[in-house]
Amino acid sequence: MATTLIRNGAVAGALAGILAGRQLTATTAAATEPALDANVADAFASQFIIANAALAVPMADADNANIFLVTAAAAYAVMADRGARSVTAADYSQQAAAAAAQAKAAAAKLV
């Protein structure tokens, strides 16, 4: 079962959520911040894929060509303004499970 779109949506949504509470400018962003933010989003997405696989009927890219939109929205919702800094995927097990369940419910509404 392909989950590339689903995972990419989780990365994008998590990154948007991580950055939501910050104002980024070239003069204030530390050189290591973008890489750390990307690694945190990647860790969340890895856990999201695990949570998706644990669903009774996991989501797959083939379910809908736009499935990444609902995975991104759900990831954003659970990661926004949380100050996430861990790069350990398991640290996001509760958030990922909630986001996967929400994305699964919303994916059924895509046309």
Sign of CA dihedral 5, 36, 90, 77: negative
Range of the domain at 59: 4-107
The whole-model pTM stands at 0.91
Average pLDDT over residues 2-12: 98
Task: Determine the pLDDT at residue 6.
Answer: 98
Task: Encode pLDDT of 61-103 as tens digits.
Answer: 999 999 999 999 999 999 998 888 999 999 999 999 999 999 9
Task: Encode pLDDT of 28-45 as tens digits.
Answer: 556 678 889 999 999 999
Buried/exposed 31-41: b ≥16 CB within 10 Å, e otherwise: eeeeeebeebb
CA distance 12 to 15: 5
Are 46 and 14 contacting, i.e. CB atoms less than 8 angstroms apart? no
DSSP state of 55: S
The total domain count for the chain is: 1
